[in-house]
Amino acid sequence: MPRNQFQRMVFAFITVVITVHAFVFYNIYVLNGDMLRSFNYTSSVLTAVNKQGGIHNSWFIDRYVKEKTKPAFPFQD
């Protein structure tokens, strides 16, 4: 464990970098993998990410929401 302020800062930075990357990759592969593959017509998540030029969450989430949701009342858009 860190013994002084500098070591604590380095330890915190490394922890944040590892945690954030692990969270992002988990979300891409486990939670959004099927959606990415179906929208890009590919068999793997990496191919889908490369085909669309990177991770653009708003693009496929907006598309998914528009395709899968219907208005509760007829007067809504």
pLDDT truncated to tens, each residue of the chain (77 aa)? 788 999 999 999 999 989 988 888 887 777 778 887 888 888 888 888 788 777 765 555 666 666 555 555 555 55
Is residue 32 within 8 Å of 43, Cβ to Cβ?
Answer: no
Is residue 36 within 8 Å of 28, Cβ to Cβ?
Answer: yes
| pTM recorded for the entire structure | 0.47
Res 73: pLDDT: 57
Res 59: pLDDT: 54
